[in-house]
Structure 1
């Protein structure tokens, strides 16, 4: 039976009695009750989440047709019809279609509510299942938290009276998720109580479920509680290891590695490697091998660790491993991102109905916990983004990294999706909108990377154009300090201004609270951007004598952060800034800083930092000196500058070489280098040319 088309609903009296069929109606034409919905637009332009107006009609007690299965069938069709629209609506939200979605969902919820209020169920399990499904829809589609809590209270009482354990825990799971929306700490306390209860009654599968829910809540707090999440994962690992439940143990180790990677603590790198090794230990186990998403997650985390810690030698190999994992698991991965982690307990055939999809039954009859990860298109977009970062760390000049990022961006746009015919329809407009939000975030990250790559190649005009797209609709004067996209856009804006000669504009960006280091500030998600902004600020303020005390203050703040940073490129940059920030620095100390910076940059394969260090050495130690060492130093600076493809440093290096050759009496070679320097100087921004005194 397909749902009827929306039309106006006639007024009915609650006490109205059914009219008898006319005598002339053939006996084969039996009247079937229909549930219709209205298509009237709401009063507001932007309709809120549907809060269905459901006033159940008092149905006749004696009817020729049992209306209960009819209403439940109509509810299924209304909800399915609405869900079928959700993926399209999230990408193309037209007001008329959104109104229709809300009307369909309201009609489906009204049918379920009418059945729950007007019929008694001979089997309490069927009633509890309907209550669970109704509660899930209320959670996903409405903001009626009060009605939802009342429904779950009645449902839990029904389950306790009839010993419906799985349904009871499922309702508690929904209740905790609902409570977390308004009172996160209360939800965490409730989950702690459920963990204690399930552990007492040895319902270990549900204990795992609630511990993982606690981890999820801890990471979703406005200030994530990483220690609480790690504590829950370690306790889960200890129990899983005793029971030899290797899929659960591997999942815990993978999540621990993820948390250590984002923690930013001094020992996070070592803890990450231990968690990664623990997860890899059981990767060859047959039960673990079937979960391809865990293996892919570990490969992505391993690559991310090397990117964060600055290990360029291993990046190409790990990038290839990650790409092979993505390609080999393409058919195994669910389009909606879900995967199941099996446990040791047996499961009834209808476990999915009793748990609302929280658990499912494996082929060998075991319970499996269902996790939701990235959708297939989002996972491949992440793979392209990480590949672009890995390629740029080795060589950002050949545009290969930019091509990776562009391909990843295609997967995040609304006009393109990976294998769309296999994408399962999202189960609610709210979930579909969350999926769209993630795609928007990925799109902004891709724009951020494109702008960064263009800055690295000194394509300042291209970087400015990408930043205009990135900051469209963004208030740069009111930056959310926890939003990476906004803070990175602010930093890149300051970088472009600094590189094009607008030093005051760059200082204004770097002095923003979102990019300012504080003496007692704890490490944040954007700590690295704050460090880089501070180093750039020191370079701008360096020639100003009145800023000497402020420069010393900034240096005292940033120096320990760079010295202890897991990525030694920050230490190399610090040494360059330290060597060039003052003219009163002793020669031996300056030489130590520059040589240390050059050695680190050479080991890391960072051509730009190496170019800067070598040319500073030439400028400070080999000017007005005749000899082979002076010419070798200047020649090395020129070759490194040519590798960077940055016109400013190519012009500087060629001019240093010209001056060195001229002082040594090699006039012809000096003139050739001088012409080359003038050519590159003409390609730098006009304001920079003016500050350098370049003649046109």
Structure 2
């Protein structure tokens, strides 16, 4: 019993503290595949969609009344009037009053054909959004709606404000749904001139920002330069509210690249945004920028990423307590999510518990506040009236009016998504502890699964693209919860329940409709091997760990190849999906080392190369749970010598205790007792046995509970307590019945 039994997999899930959404955006800066809009398509529209040429009837009063001529005299070429009949008139009576001709009815006013065209465009766009996918019909309906708007702009003399707003909408649809960026640029350029002539400052900034987004698709550097010029112009005119929006869009441009140099540029712009907002007393904007800054620090590849994020959190907290900002519960809750992520990354268990409790208390208060539910996925950040410089706001501009206040609006987590993220981070922060906390972790998982399934039920059957995207996100989140449940059931030795949860997660992935993150597929494959190993099917488990998806060397080559493409641009940003995937491959490789540790195994010759691969990969691993597991596995398969082995075990024990990982603590103590205290009867040996048995019981795995009973029985025999040893052997027999059948057969066969 001197080595870790091969039937006990190392199945620690890496702590995924990356469940936060990407930063909000004003406009999507990523290109969308679209329909090539034909300028001549208006000929294909139904007749009612084109402004008809109206033939106006002549009024009766305007017609020339032609009297039929009498017989003409061919010589004199004159006409004689036809004699009129004589009327009888009495002498002395007043003449009869002249009858007034009846007045003609007022003609009906002509319909507003431009309004009819716009209504028709709305109907085309609405029908397009209800389609299941972006089929040919979708693009035809979109093109017909665009044609109606173009006809209204071209054939009717509109008021300047209405023309500008309609042009902005036309360009926005072109940008969102088509690839006709040249047409969008042309329309926006003309509309900006209209805004400048009529003083529509708000609309002008909105158009200029959209124009920069259009330009970014083909010439990103030129778009960045153009946006920087706009920011300088806004600063000169002290248009603070619009400067905030433009500067934040510049942050989005920098974040579109995946290298750390542009990440630093984005950080700099956020710091400048927060500084200017504080200078103008726009504390809500400053709190928003600082919260996003904390979120971005967690994506930094630098060692001080967590420290920088916590520094930003500390700056945001006093701002959120201000009376002008305290109503923004979305910001406050997101800040707590980021703070909990920092503690998970650091592996600070005590802080995890405190921050998790505070987060749940805060969300309880959020549930009583209906403002977040009413706003949905929109965050309205108020700005001071002084930041508007007395300028009028227009519909469609960058600055909106909500409840009589001027606000900047950003896309954000809605209340359901935030609650699901809170449950997922709660699971990640508590799942490494023993059986005493397992019920609480399962409660978090059940809460998250219920919320995601409610969302799935709400959006199932809806055909709009937005609804389908929401449905896909909910199913992916449900899959994450089921994977966490599978890890939890594996840790308790509930292999039947783990297999059921894994199959359910596979069904969720099949219903996504989109390609899931690579880390998710790797975890599903890895968990299959863990379950097979726990059941005693070692050959099937080894086959899973050796699959191409979980091959550590291949994964490292692909990761290095992707990073090599960014060498000219700078160091790569932290990629959570890549890091989690690498950690899963490391765990699979360590389980391979344990399964092939016997010298008689056919793959034992590959152990040295595999251990070198794990050593290399561990240089970039920051997960303290995996670091502790690696120290234990390295001691079992790589260390030679008593001193080196003892030092490795002590290091692994300290690392496991630091993150309160009961499983690794129990394994280390068990190995330590077998290697250094077996057959020893002094006080230190007795303490080691008791500690090992207590941690195994807290862990709650049936197989290792049987092993612990054997250790205790053996210890009692060495200490001269045959009666106690006999009782423990009887307990061993009882515990053996709870061991999986595959493992039990291996134990009984010797």
Please tell me the TM-score bracket, short chain as reference: 0.7 to 0.9
Corresponding residue of 1:72: 115
Alignment of 1:250 onto 2:287: yes
The aligned residue for residue 270 of structure 2 is 233
What residue in structure 1 maps to residue 666 of structure 2?
Answer: 611
1:218 is the counterpart of 2:265? no
Q: How does 1:289-688 map to 2 (within 5 A)?
A: 289-330=326-367, 331-333=370-372, 334-344=374-384, 345-346=387-388, 351=393, 353-355=395-397, 358-361=398-401, 363=403, 365=405, 367-394=406-433, 398-413=438-453, 429-472=464-507, 483-500=518-535, 501=538, 502-508=541-547, 509-511=549-551, 515-516=555-556, 524-525=575-576, 526-531=578-583, 533-541=585-593, 543=597, 545-561=604-620, 565=622, 568-582=624-638, 584=640, 586-688=641-743
Q: Distance in 1 between matches of 2:243 and 2:391?
A: 21
Cα gap change, 1:456/1:408 in structure 2, threshold over 3 Å: closer, same or farther?
A: same
Does the residue aligned with 1:287 lie in a helix, a strand or coil?
coil
In the TM superposition, residue 116 of structure 1 has moved relative to its aligned partner by 0.9
Aligned to 2:171, which of 135, 143, 148? 135
Once the 2 structures are TM-superposed, how far is the Cα of residue 536 of structure 1 from its aligned partner? 4.6
Give per-residue Cα distances to partners, 1:602-628, cap 9 Å, x unaligned. Answer: 343221111111111111111122344
Paired position in structure 2 for 1:57: 50
Mapped contact 1:538–1:581 kept (Cα < 8 A): no
| Preserved CA contact (<8 Å) 2:349 2:660 | yes
* 284, 287, 290: which one aligns with 2:321: 284
Larger radius of gyration: 2
Query: Are positions 1:191 and 2:227 aligned together?
Result: yes
Distance 1:409 1:351, change over 3 A: farther
- Is the 1:497–1:506 Cα contact (8 Å) retained in structure 2? no
Larger mean CA deviation between 73-82 and 201-210 belongs to: 73-82
Quote the RMSD (CA, aligned, Å).
Answer: 3.8
| Superposed displacement of residue 118, structure 1 | 0.6
The partner residue of 2:190 within 154, 158, 166 is: 154
- The answer to whether residue 291 in structure 2 is matched with residue 275 in structure 1 is no
Deviations 1:21-65 (A, max 9, x none): xxxxxxxxxxxxxxxxxxxxxxxxxx9879695446352256577
CA deviation after TM superposition for structure 1 residue 550, in Å: 1.4
**1: CA distance between counterparts of 2:151 and 2:335?**
48
Residue by residue over 1:283-321, the C-alpha shift from the partner in whole angstroms, topping out at 9 and shown as x without a partner, is 221112122211111111112211222122122332232
Match for residue 102 of structure 2? Answer: none
Instruction: Give, in whole Å, the separation in 1 of the partners of 2:404 and 2:236.
Output: 27
SS of 2:679's equivalent in the other structure is: coil
Q: How far apart, CA to CA, are the structure 1 residues paired with 2:282 and 2:127? A: 37
Change (3 A) 1:105 1:685: same
8 Å Cα contact 2:589-2:614 kept in structure 1: no
For residues 469 and 184 of structure 1, do their structure 2 counterparts lie closer, same or farther at Cα, with a shift above 3 Å needed? farther
What per-residue deviation string (whole Å, max 9, x for no partner) do you get for residues 125-157 of structure 1? Answer: 221011112223333444443433332232223
| Cα distance change, pair 588–380 in 1 and its aligned pair in 2 (3 A) | same
Question: How far is 1:74 from its partner?
Answer: 6.0
Cα contact 2:343–2:352 (8 A) shared by 1: yes
Q: 1:232 to 1:349 in 2, by over 3 A?
A: closer
Gaps of 5+ in 1: 1-46, 421-425
Partner Cα distance (2:611, 2:217) in 1: 46
Distance in 1 between residues matched to 2:152 and 2:532, nearest whole Å = 65
Asked if 2 retains the 8 angstrom alpha-carbon contact of 1:82 and 1:105, the reply is yes
> Which stretches in structure 2 are left out of the alignment for 5+ residues?
1-32, 44-48, 57-106, 564-571
- Which structure is higher in RCO with an 8 Å CA cutoff and minimum separation 6? 2
Change (3 A) 1:230 1:656: same
Taking the aligned partners of 1:76 and 1:200, their CA distance within structure 2 comes to: 40
Query: TM-score, normalising length from structure 2?
Result: 0.74
Which shifted more, 298-307 or 409-418? 409-418
Paired residue secondary structure (2:320) = coil
SS at match of 1:339: strand
Q: Which residue of 1 aligns with 2:568?
A: none
Q: More displaced, 514-523 or 338-347?
A: 514-523
> In the aligned structure 1, how far is the partner of 2:222 from the partner of 2:422?
37
Of 241, 244, 250, which aligns to 1:208?
244
How many residue pairs get aligned? The number is: 625
Given that 1:79 and 1:105 are in contact with CA atoms closer than 8 Å, whether structure 2 keeps it comes out as no
Q: 2:52 is paired with a residue of what secondary structure?
A: coil
Deviation at 1:76, TM superposition (A): 4.0
Distance in 1 separating the partners of 2:506 and 2:521: 8
Distance 2:518 2:225 in 1: 28
State TM-score, norm by structure 1: 0.79
CA drift at 1:548: 4.8
CA distance in 1, matches of 2:34, 2:402: 39
**Structure 1 residue 109: deviation in Å?**
3.9
**SS of the counterpart of 1:289?**
coil
Task: Tell me if 1:173 matches 2:209.
Answer: yes
Worse-superposed segment, 597-606 or 47-56? 47-56
Q: Report the secondary structure of 2:452's partner residue.
A: coil
**Matched residues in 2 for 1:550 and 1:594: separation?**
23
